[in-house]
Amino acid sequence: MGSSNNSDLIAQAQEWIEHDPDPETRSELLELLKANNTEELDDRFSSRLTFGTAGIRGIQGGGPNRMNRLTLRKVAVGISQYLKSGSSVIIGYDARKNSEVFATDMSGIFSHYGIHSHIFTKVIPTPVLSFAVRQKSADMGIMITASHNPANDNGCKVFLADGAQLRSPIDDIIDQQIELSQLPPKEIAKGLGRIEEIEDKIWIEYCETVANTVGELSGSLAIAYTPLHGVSWETIEHVFGLKGITNLITVPSQSQPDPSFPSTPFPNPEEAGVLDELFNVAQSSKADIALANDPDGDRLAIGVPQSNGEWRTLSGNEIGALLCNRMLQVTSGQNRKVVSSVVSSSLTEKIAEEA
C-alpha cells in the first residue's frame, strides 16, 4: 500500500477515534495505529457493514467494517433520516455483549432527531419486539441482536410498522441514508424525542396471545427445551405454564443467557451437533418432544423420538407442513392463502388442496 493510501487510512482511523464513544474500541484502533498495522486497518476502513438479512450484523470491534457503538449510532442516524421527526420506534435487545449499550445509544440518537423511543428494560426474544411494534402502533422496531451468529458478533434487526422484517426497497433507502450521514459526535444532545420504558405488560400480552392460539393441552406432556444460551427460556416457560404444561426439562448448561455461548460456538439449531445435549436430556427424561430456539428466539428446531430410541430433527419443510396443516384446521372460508417459496416442499400445496 502506497504512502498516500496509508495517509488516507490513518486519517480515517483518527477521525473515527475522535467520534467513537467506546474507550475499548478507541484503544483497539489506537493500538493498530501505534503498531502501523495497515493490513488490519485497511480491513476495518476499506468498506463498511451494510444491511443484509433484515438488518445489519458483524464482528464487534473498532471501525466502520465492524460492529460497535459508532457503527450503530450511524445506523440510527440513517433510520432517523428515513422516519422523520415525530415517528416512534420500539427497541429491544438480547443478552449479547454490548446489546443493552447499543440499544441505549440508538434511543439517544432517535431522541436527538425528534423520534420517540419505547425501550424494553430486560432482554427479550425477537418475536416479542415484533409483537410490540404492532401493539403500540409504532413506525419501526429495532432488535439489538446478531441472531445465531458466533459470540463476538452483534448487530440489529429492523422491523417495519406491520411487524414484519425490513424488506426491499426500504432497506436500500435506509442504507443510502446511512452512507450519506456524517459521524455523530461522542456527546449526543437530547432532542424532542421522548425515551420511555416498556413495562412487562407487553411481554405478558405476548405470552397470553401465543398461549391462546392453541386449545387445551395434556398436562402430562413432557418437553425438553433449550434456548442455546439465549433469552427465550423465561418466555417459553411462561407460555407453556399458561396452558398447564409444567414438565419442561431444560439443558442445565444452556438455559440461562450467556453471551459467550460456551457449549456451542455457532448457536444455530439447524447446525449439525448443536442439539446433541438437548437430545441427551430428552432421551434420559423420556420427553415427548424436544424444542430449541436460537439465542434471540426467532428460529425453531423440533426433535422427535424414533422407535429405536434415537432422536431426529424435523426439517424446515416438515415443520412448515405441520404449521400449514394447523392453520388450515383452525381457519375456514375461501379467502385463505397458502404461500410457499420456490425451495419449499410441494407438500404444503397438497395440504392446501385438501383443506
Active site residues: 147
| Distance from C-alpha of 193 to C-alpha of 1, rounded to nearest angstrom | 45
Q: What is the grid cell recorded at 6?
A: 496509508
The one-letter code for the residue type at 63 is G
Dist. CA 233–CA 253, nearest whole Å = 13
Phi, psi values for residue 172, rounded to 5°: -65, -40
Q: How far apart are CA 213 and CA 76, in angstroms?
A: 35
Q: Can you tell me which residue has the cell 396471545?
A: 209
- On the 0-12 / 13-18 / 19+ scale of CB atoms within 10 A, 123 is buried
Instruction: Kindly give the pairing relationship between strand 153-160 and strand 55-59.
Output: antiparallel
Beta-strand pair 116-120/153-160: unpaired
If you search the block for the grid coordinates 431522541, which residue do you land on? 111
What is the C-alpha to C-alpha distance for residues 81 and 132, in angstroms, rounded to an integer? 23
Residue pair 142/91 in contact (Cβ under 8 Å)? The answer is yes
Q: How far apart are CA 283 and CA 71, in angstroms?
A: 45
